[in-house]
Amino acid sequence: MNLSLKPIKIVCSLLIVSLFIYLSIHYFNGKSIWNGIKEVIQSPYLLFTMLIIYFLSFCLKALAWKWYLNGRPRFSTCLLGILYSLFVNHLLPIKAGDLVRMKLLSTRDDLSGGDAVHSVIILRLLDMLYLISFTLIGLFILGVDFQIPLPLIIIGGIISGFSIIVVLRFFPNFLKRQAELLKQGLRGKNGLFICTAVGVSWILEAAILYGTVMVFQGNLSMMEAVFSNSVTVSGQIFQITPGGIANYESFLVFAIRLFGFTIQEGYTIAIVTHAIKFFFSYVAGAMAIILYPIPFKTVLSWSRVRGVRRR
């Protein structure tokens, strides 16, 4: 299944990178970007608040992960796994952080590799469900004047249908097992807590964008910031650069362009907010390494699928 979809992902990723190159050629302004970064640095209280709220969003994700596994792992392990994942995703050109996250959980708290893999997959699917939901809700509530091109709908439908057919045809037992575990993990009040924590975490993650626009004295409501952040993060599935460079900027420029920002303004805001997220990722990664040191070679070995599957 991965091999069949990989060429499509590569083509989409290259198109997005090409768009970013076009935007950079026409709208890059070093002085404007540097002035924007200085303005953020010169607003230390607001910057500190943005980073704290951003950190809290990951704490909620860690809490949801712990709840999903019925409290078996320690909260510290879940948070370390997420911070290591974030750090690795901003170091490597592929989103290998989840593989490290799975392995750290099974290694530090001695959970089975199957439980670790399943929990991360389900929570990632829940993440995407919320991002898509926030995007669709934003399109309707905010009155965004945008129509999804029919060819894109057709292509998306074909890819989704093909993926479902492949899973049902070749992995029926795996699918049944995942469905059973999902039902156990999200039932009752526990499921409500998990869904609430994940949903709120994505709302909090928009704080970086909202705060940066506030520093620039722009006009962007919190709901518009959540919508724009959801669109931008969704585009990271096509990541082929560290931290999703190009993907992040291209999608964010498109998203906030819908709310009256010029492409030049959107490009500058995208670069500055992404720089803040890179800064946070590296600081968080350094803290994770200090609290729970893992040799870099080990982290790289965990970032390979084979390394995660072995136990």
What tens digit of pLDDT does each residue of 27-61 get?
Answer: 988 899 999 999 999 999 999 999 999 999 999 99
CA angle 138/204/207 to nearest 5° reads: 85
Question: How do residues 156-169 score in pLDDT, each as one tens digit?
Answer: 566 656 666 766 66
HEC profile of 244-277: HCCHHHHHHHHHHHCCCCCHHHHHHHHHHHHHHH
86-95, 269-278, 297-306: range with highest mean pLDDT: 269-278
pLDDT, position 157: 62
The Cα 285–Cα 85 span in angstroms is: 9
Please give the residue that has the higher pLDDT: either 174 or 283: 283
pLDDT of residue 171: 63
